[in-house]
Amino acid sequence: MTRSLMKQLLLFAISLGLSACGNKERADTALNSTSLVIAAEDDPHCFDPRLMRDTCSINIAHMLYEGLFFLDNEDTPRPALAERVAVDPSMTTYTFTLRNAKWSNGDPIEAKDFELSIKSIMDPSHLSPHANQLYMIKGAKEAKEGKIPVDKVAIKAIDQKTLRIELEEPTPYFLTLAATHFLYPVHESTLNGSANPQKPVVSGPFEVVSFAPQNELILKKNPHFWDAAQVKLTHIKVLPLNDQTALQLFKQGEIDWVGSPIGRLPPDAVPRLKEEGKLKVKEALGTFWIRVNTLDATLRSKQLRQTLLNHIDRDKIVEHITQGGQEPALAVVPPALWGKMDDESAERRTAPLSSLKSEESLPTLSLIYIHNERNHKIAQFLQQEWKQKLGIALRLEAQESKSYYERVGTGNFQLSIGSWFADIPDPVNFLDIFKFKHLKTNGTGWEDARYIALLDKAAKEGDPGRRLALLRQSEALLLEEAPVIPLYFAAWNWVGNPKLQNVHLSPIGFFDLRHAYKKER
């Protein structure tokens, strides 16, 4: 054990001992049986769920916040802060009745907290990357574009416990959306800027005790949580560690969980963990891809983008690099989200696309990616592939996560390795992020009127089969234009303490610890 880790664990034990009024025996018991230590790939970028976009931060949000609904172990939306909901016959007006619940500081959670939080995202100046996912709410798109005042968005607190939301069109997945992090309410102090950004007032099963960036995040059970009686863990400690260190500490019994969805396993360790029967694998509704900056003078060329897309041996990536149940991707949307497909559509989605003749004068390109072992191996593989097959030289630029997101957000890149994991189990969640070039989720500078029209038509289509057909057409157009180059479909990989029970990890990456506990020997 390193001295720094010994110091961290000692401080953690001391903090638990203080919370137990100095009773060392109780503190030791808490550390062993009712606390959890998790390895993360990075710190949360913030504690405001409206702004979160990476999987690690989003899952910290799930620990700290609660929404109108939550997803149960079958990924079915169930009432959370909303005690019940009534939907009108047109399926466009949702009236939520809130339960008696409190913020972590004891303030009552009221309907106006939801109204103000959701409307804040629609302010044109707000930096949330998720506003477009709420455009089914009446007036949301117009408000975000500055065409109408935010107050005109159809979200209204009727009284302290009643919230009404009106939609433009029937949206079959809206209650699932009501369980997502960007519909979590934030406290008034967060809205007005008076909150401590590293220790916010929260609504979920846990609250922040302390946060030391690049060192540790300590959470404790929130006694004001509406369902606190069902929360068994008293403390959670999150350590930002590289994958090799995290796995070593797991083997030493000092960490309870390493890997998905908030951390990574070393790619080289996956085969051995699989042979030992320790590796856990679960379907993930996510796609890893390369974003292409279509505003770049070189990559404006559709032919070049298609050439790059068509000259990647994706089987080698999943067989020799990721090795954890991932599948090669020649599409953007994970196949499970399409449901049962006929033979023709299945062939259309999986058959190799036709090769295109390479341009005579091929440039040197640059590829940015968040620095970790998996991304670096993939980047090196792409460098070799395109050099051998196309004669294209690829310059690799590993980035810290903050720098990476800044460069993608400002368009200061040519190619970038990225991913998307479903917020809701519906194909539109993968397709909408490329609908408009100004969207923070897009990052490619690409926009196409035909694509927008197809997605708009799908949004208004009431027949499920015809709606999916329109969404498939949208995906086909996206692949033809190639602002994004699919690499592989994701899978969750992790190792966990065998004593840890009742942890739910859903295909969309919802990491639910509210009912988790450690069984006795």
Looking at the chain, how many residues does it have? 521
Task: Judge whether 185 and 49 are in contact, CB under 8 Å.
Answer: no
How many Å is the maximal CA-CA distance in the chain? Answer: 75
> Tell me, what DSSP letter sits at residue 108?
B
pLDDT digits (tens, 9 = 90+) for 160-206: 999 999 999 999 899 999 999 999 999 999 999 998 999 999 999 99
Closest among 100, 174, 281, 226 to 514, alpha carbons compared: 226
**Burial environment of residue 357 by CB neighbours within 10 A (0 to 12, 13 to 18, 19 or more):** exposed
Count of the separate structural domains present in the chain: 3
Q: Is residue 411 located within the same domain as residue 294?
A: yes
pLDDT of residue 72: 87
Q: Is residue 384 located within the same domain as residue 479?
A: yes
Give the number of other Cβ atoms within 10 Å of residue 396's Cβ: 14
Q: Is residue 226 located within the same domain as residue 331?
A: no
Q: Is residue 168 located within the same domain as residue 53?
A: yes
Enumerate residues 6+ apart whose C-beta is below 8 A from 266: 243, 244, 247, 373
| Positions of the chain with pLDDT lower than 70, given as ranges | 1-32, 340-361, 521
Q: Which domain holds residue 499?
A: 206-281+494-518
| 6 within domain boundaries | no
Residue 445: CATH number of its domain: 3.10.105.10
Distance between CA 31 and CA 12 in Å, rounded? 8
Q: Is residue 179 located within the same domain as residue 216?
A: no
Q: Tokens 């005790």: give the residue.
A: 209
pLDDT of residue 157: 98
Radius of gyration of the chain (CA): 23
> At which of 135, 166, 192 does a domain end?
192
Helix axes 464-481, 302-310, angle to 10 degrees: 100
pLDDT of residue 208: 98
* Angle of CA points 272, 277, 278, to nearest 5°: 80
pLDDT of residue 324: 95
One-letter amino acid at 481 equals: E
| 511 within domain boundaries | yes
Q: Is residue 295 located within the same domain as residue 211?
A: no
Task: Judge whether 101 and 201 are in contact, CB under 8 Å.
Answer: no
| Secondary structure tally for the chain: helices H, strands E | 17, 21
Structure tokens at 26: 């109780």
Pairing of strands 365-370, 394-399: parallel
pLDDT digits (tens, 9 = 90+) for 147-158: 999 999 999 999
Distance between CA 514 and CA 230 in Å, rounded? 7
Residue 214: CATH number of its domain: 3.40.190.10
3-state secondary structure 438-460: CCCCCCCCCCCHHHHHHHHHHHH
pLDDT of residue 32: 59
Q: Is residue 83 located within the same domain as residue 149?
A: yes
Residue 130: CATH number of its domain: 3.90.76.10
Q: Is residue 300 located within the same domain as residue 442?
A: yes
Q: Is the previous residue joined to 261 through a cis bond, with omega within 30 degrees of 0? A: yes
Provide φ and ψ at 195, rounded to 5°.
Answer: -75, 155
From residue 85, how far is each of 65, 115, 451 by CA, in Å? 20, 16, 34
- The C-alpha torsion from 18 through 36 and 62 to 191, rounded to 10°, is 20
Closest among 337, 204, 363, 231 to 283, alpha carbons compared: 337
> Tell me, what DSSP letter sits at residue 107?
P
Beta-bridge partner residues of 39? 239
| 214 within domain boundaries | yes
Distance between CA 29 and CA 164 in Å, rounded? 46
Structure tokens at 169: 């069109």
One-letter amino acid at 403 equals: S
Q: Is residue 484 located within the same domain as residue 391?
A: yes
| 501 within domain boundaries | yes
Beta-bridge partner residues of 61? none
pLDDT of residue 227: 97
Q: Is residue 64 located within the same domain as residue 184?
A: yes
> At which of 165, 192, 219 does a domain end?
192
| 29 within domain boundaries | no
Enumerate residues 6+ apart whose C-beta is below 8 A from 228: 205, 221, 222
Phi-psi label, residue 62: left if phi above 0, alpha if psi -120 to 50, beta otherwise? alpha
| 452 within domain boundaries | yes
| 435 within domain boundaries | yes
Q: Is residue 224 located within the same domain as residue 158?
A: no
Beta-bridge partner residues of 98? 82
Distance between CA 376 and CA 403 in Å, rounded? 16
pLDDT of residue 520: 77
Three-state DSSP class for residue 428? helix
Q: Tokens 């606190």: give the residue.
A: 228
* Angle of CA points 398, 402, 403, to nearest 5°: 50
| 132 within domain boundaries | yes
Three-state DSSP class for residue 488? strand
pLDDT of residue 342: 37
Q: Is residue 316 located within the same domain as residue 226?
A: no
Distance between CA 282 and CA 230 in Å, rounded? 26
Enumerate residues 6+ apart whose C-beta is below 8 A from 469: none
> At which of 192, 220, 240 does a domain end?
192
Distance between CA 255 and CA 97 in Å, rounded? 40
